[in-house]
Amino acid sequence: MSEGSRGSSLAFGQVVIGPPGSGKTSYCHAMRDFLGRLGRSVAVVNLDPANEALPCPCALDIGELVTLPDVMASLGLGPNGGLLYCMEYLEANADWLRDRLQELRGHYFLFDCPGQVELYTHHEALKNVLAQLAKWNFRLAAVHLVDSHYCTDPGKFISVLCTSLSTMLHVELPHVNVLSKMDLIEQYGKLAFNLDYYTEVLDLSYLVDHLASDPFFRNFRRLNEKLVEVIEDYSLVSFVPLNIQDKQSMRQVMQAVDKANGYSFGDQEHHSLEVLMSAAVGADFHFSSTLAVQEKYVQSQDKAVEEEVMDL
C-alpha cells in the first residue's frame, strides 16, 4: 500500500502557526470547543515540543516522541537550535506521526505548531512534514496568527507584513492570516488609520508617510518604500480580525478556513445552501466582521475621550 493510498478518506484541518505569544494554543482550544458545538469531531495535535503546560488534553502530543528539554540536555543545544532539531527529528520519524494520525481518522484536525519564525520562513523540516500530510490525504489550511498590537506601530506592522508574505510563500498551503486578540487592541494605543486599512492592507504609501514623521524612521524611508513595494507587488496579504471570546468572530475565521481548505464543499457533513453561500462570499462576511470590530474600537476610543473631558 502506497503512502498516498493509506487511509484514502480525506481529512481536513488547520495548521496553526505564528510567533510566540500570538495565542496559537488558546486559539486551538477555543476553535475546538466552537467546532464541537457545531457537531464536528475535533482532534488537537500538539506539534510544539516546547509546549509543556497544555491547558487541555490533546489527542496527540509530539512530547511522546521528542521534547525540547531532553534535546537541550542531551545535545547541549540552546532553545532555538533544539527546536529546529526537534522538527528535523519529527520529519525523520514521519511514520510515527502517520500511524498516530491514522488512529484519529474521521476527526477534523487542529495542529498547534511551534512559535519559532524560522520554521515558516526558510527552514525545511516542518514544511516537509506538511507536504507529507498532503500525501496522506490531509487537506489543510495554514492559520497564521499575528498579535493585533502590531497595528499600533507602523514599523512593526510593515515587518509583520513581510513575515506573513514570506511565510505564505514558504509553507505552500492555503493561507488565512488572522489578527488575534482584537478584544485587547484598545489597550495598545490609538490606530493611525481605520481598522480595515490594516485588515485589507490598503495603500501602504500612507503608512510610509506616517513613518517618515518619526525621526528614527526618517532615515529609512527608502528602505520602507522598497519593502512596501514588495508586499504590494505580490498582493497576497490580508487579515481576518479575531476575538476568541466572540462567537461571530470565530465564525468568520471558520468560514475563511473552510473555504481555503475546501471543507465547505466536501462530504464530511451536511451543508445547507446558506452555509455554502456564506463560504462562497466570504469576503463580504470578512468586511462585515471588520466593520463590527472597528465600531467597537471607535466606541472605546470615544468613551476614553469622554472620560478625559469629564476629568477636566
What confidence tens digit (pLDDT) does each residue in 105-120 have?
Answer: 999 999 999 999 999 9
> What is the per-residue pLDDT for 311?
58
Residue 144: closest CA among 178, 118, 115: 178
Q: Strand 11-17 and strand 138-147: pairing?
A: parallel
Grid cell 525621526 is found at 215
Distance from C-alpha of 127 to C-alpha of 104, rounded to nearest angstrom: 22
On whether the CB atoms of residues 58 and 44 are closer than 8 A, the answer is: yes
Q: Please check the confidence at residue 85 and state whether its pLDDT lies above 60.
A: yes
Annotate 154-191 with b (16+ C-beta within 10 A) or e (fewer).
bbebbebbbbbbebbebbebbbbbbbbbbbebbeeeeb
| Per-residue pLDDT, 312 | 55
Q: Using 50, 70 and 90 to split pLDDT, how confident is the model at 144?
A: very high
CA 255 from centroid of its chain's CA atoms: 14
Mean pLDDT taken over the chain: 83
Indicate the pairing of strand 175-180 with strand 60-61: unpaired
Structural domains in the chain, CATH included, are: 11-201+237-265 (3.40.50.300)
Q: What is the mean pLDDT of the segment spanning 265-273?
A: 50
Return the CA Rg of the chain. Answer: 21
Share of the chain above pLDDT 90, in %: 52
Q: Name the more confident of 152 and 292.
A: 152
Q: Of 47-56, 249-258, 261-270, which has the strongest mean pLDDT?
A: 249-258
Of 51-55, 96-100, 261-265, 305-309, which gets the smallest average pLDDT? 305-309
The reported pLDDT for the residue numbered 294 is 56
- Rounded to whole angstroms, how far apart are CA atoms 225 and 211? 10
What is the structure's pLDDT at 49? 93
Would you state the cell numbers that stand for residue 228, as one nine-digit string? 512596501
The closest alpha carbon to 83, from 93, 64, 70, 97, belongs to 70
| CA-CA-CA-CA torsion sign (113, 155, 178, 185) | positive
What is the structure's pLDDT at 6? 46
pLDDT tens track for 216-241: 777 788 888 898 899 988 888 999 99
Q: Which of 16-25, 45-54, 79-88, 270-279 has the highest mean pLDDT?
A: 79-88
C-beta of residue 284 within 8 angstroms of C-beta of residue 67: no
Helix (H) or strand (E) holding 59: none
> What pLDDT does 86 receive?
96
CA pair distance 137, 215, nearest whole angstrom: 52
Whether the CB-CB separation of 31 and 110 falls below 8 Å is answered with yes
- Residue 96 CA to its chain's centroid (Å): 26
Q: Burial of 226 by CB count in 10 Å (0-12 exposed, 13-18 middle, 19+ buried)?
A: exposed
Q: Compute the distance between CA of residue 116 and CA of residue 265 in angstroms, rounded to an integer.
A: 33
The 10s digit of each residue's pLDDT in 20-58 is: 888 899 999 999 999 999 889 999 999 999 887 777 789
